[in-house]
Each structure stands twice: as C-alpha cells, then as structure tokens.
C-alpha cells in the first residue's frame, strides 16, 4: 500500500478537505483508498505533539472511495491505522501528521518553509493546483507500506493457491539489546543500493519459486528509520507442504541478508555506527 500525506501549512479547513477529496478521488480510480485523519487534541482541547505514531488524539480511518465505513478511537497510532488498511487497500491518504515518514502534499502559503523537513511531492495553494497524475506516478516509485498480514493476503490470492497446504513466515525486528548489560539500541537506519537491491530481491523471489513444491514467495525489507521493537523484514512462502515452506523461509532470509545490498546504521543511546564498517 502506497501512503501519501496531506498537511495543512496555513490553509483553511475547507481548502485542505478539498485537496484531500480530489486526491482520494484520483487515487480511487486505480485502487482502493483508505483515509487516515489525525486530530492532535485530547479531550479538554489541549494541543499535543502530532508526530507520526504519537497518541493523545483521535485517529479516524475511512475505507472505500465512497466513505462507506469509518472507525475512530483515542489510543490508536497512525501506524496501527495504516497496518489495518494495508491488507485491503492499494493507497492510504494521511491527513494532519507532520514529519510523516511517507511522501506528503503541503497545502497553504507556508508550504515552502515546511518543505525542508518533509518528503514533499507537491506544494499547492488550492485543489486546482494539484497534478494528481504526476503525484500518483511519483508515489508509486516510493517504498510501499507492507505488513506481514498484507503479504499473507497477497500470496493467498495466488493463482496456485488451491494447490497450497502451507504458508510459512519469518519476521525480523529491531532488537533493543542482546544481553541485559548491553547499551540499548534506539533505532536502526537502513539504506539500499538503489535499483540493484530491488533487482536482487525480485531475482531471489523468482529463484526460490523455482523450487519443487514452492508456489509463491514474498520478500520485504523496510528502509529508513526502524525503531526499537518495530518489524524490519518479512519472508512469506506459499507451498504445497510444510517441509518445503519452512526450508524456503529459512533459505530466503539467509540469502536476503547475504545477497541484497542493504546498509545498516545502528543508533544506541551512546553511539551510532554503520554496522558493515564496524564488522569489516
């Protein structure tokens, strides 16, 4: 699922909502769209920090282009809302979250000033300024938001799913420490060798799928900042039987680590370093 932010930079509520509506309408022609709205106020109206994932306000998410289903609740993070949408949506539009870790449209006269701290795909004053086709094309060159559940749903839709008796998975996550005395890790930051990493990942999936009894393989590795406790990498294998499913999951994660050019920086409470440089 591709995620696009829309952020108020000094505009009116009416203009912001008109930009959201036009954006959702354009994306819905290509696939299902979820809309996540973040209201960074608590019950007494006191403003709270509104970074992505920060609690204290309401997160509301709408499913479907016609807005026929809505859920909201205090205590849900933006990331949790996105995770809920990912298995069934091709796109999500997130409204009202500064410093979102996804491409963002800035709306209003202060957009140029805010652009320095955001991954910006467009700055507009009115809905008429939107080039929705260019925004969609740019969005689809970025890393999609994936969850283990969304990858499982994808392999279940395989044309070969009726021959499958097993789905095996692996999830890698950020470990805070190896032992009790270790310095805690705050986050890892991953960079990929542009172009090459994606090609190697696709080639590895294809190679694993050539195995007898293996019907479909999905590999996914996040890039950018991944905080302590968050998921990093998924391997999902659809197979005829459990033996080839388990074996292919293990080989898949081992070969991904060995063959796909991804560079990892570790940031602890005391230090930061590129892991490949320290281990060289």
255-267 exposure pattern, b = at least 16 Cβ within 10 A, e = fewer = bbeeebebeebbb
- Tens of pLDDT, residue by residue over 54-68, are 333 445 555 444 444
Q: Give the separation between CA 40 and CA 70, rounded to whole angstroms.
A: 18
The CATH number given to 148-278 is: 3.90.1170.40
63-91 exposure pattern, b = at least 16 Cβ within 10 A, e = fewer = beeeeeeeeeeeebebbbbbbbbbbebbb
The predicted pLDDT at position 277 comes to: 60
pLDDT band at 19 (very low <50, low <70, confident <90, very high): very high
- Tens of pLDDT, residue by residue over 122-154, are 999 999 999 999 999 999 988 899 999 999 999
The predicted pLDDT at position 61 comes to: 56
The predicted pLDDT at position 56 comes to: 35
The predicted pLDDT at position 57 comes to: 42
Delimiting residues of CATH 3.90.1170.40 domain(s) in the chain? 148-278
The CATH number given to 2-139 is: 3.40.50
pTM given for the model: 0.78
Delimiting residues of CATH 3.40.50 domain(s) in the chain? 2-139
How far from 137 is each of 30, 36, 126, 132, 133, CA to CA, in Å?
11, 21, 20, 9, 6
């Amino acid at each position: 699922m591709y995620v696009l932010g829309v952020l108020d930079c000094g505009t009116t509520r009416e203009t912001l909502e008109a930009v959201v509506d036009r954006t959702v309408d354009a994306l819905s022609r290509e696939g299902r769209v979820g809309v996540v709205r973040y209201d960074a106020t608590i019950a007494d109206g006191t403003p709270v920090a509104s970074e992505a994932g920060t609690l204290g306000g309401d997160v509301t998410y709408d499913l479907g282009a016609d807005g026929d289903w809505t859920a909201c609740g205090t205590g849900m993070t933006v990331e949790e809302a996105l995770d809920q949408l990912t298995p069934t949506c091709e796109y999500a539009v997130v409204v009202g979250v500064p410093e979102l870790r996804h491409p963002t449209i800035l709306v209003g006269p202060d957009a140029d000033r805010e652009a320095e701290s955001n991954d910006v795909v467009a700055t507009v004053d009115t809905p008429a300024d939107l080039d929705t086709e260019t925004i969609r094309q740019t969005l689809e060159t970025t890393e999609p938001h994936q969850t283990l559940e969304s990858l499982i749903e994808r392999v279940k839709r395989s044309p070969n799913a009726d021959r499958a008796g097993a789905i095996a998975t692996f999830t890698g996550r950020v470990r805070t420490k190896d032992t009790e005395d270790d310095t805690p890790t705050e986050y890892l930051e991953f960079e990929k060798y542009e172009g090459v990493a994606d090609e190697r990942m696709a080639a590895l999936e294809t190679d694993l799928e050539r195995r007898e009894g293996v019907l479909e393989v999905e590999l996914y590795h996040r890039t950018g900042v991944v905080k302590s406790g968050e998921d990093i990498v998924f391997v999902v294998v659809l197979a005829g039987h459990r033996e080839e499913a388990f074996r292919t999951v293990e080989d898949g994660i081992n070969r991904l680590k060995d063959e796909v050019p991804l560079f990892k920086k570790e940031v602890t409470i005391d230090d930061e370093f590129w892991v490949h440089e320290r281990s060289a």
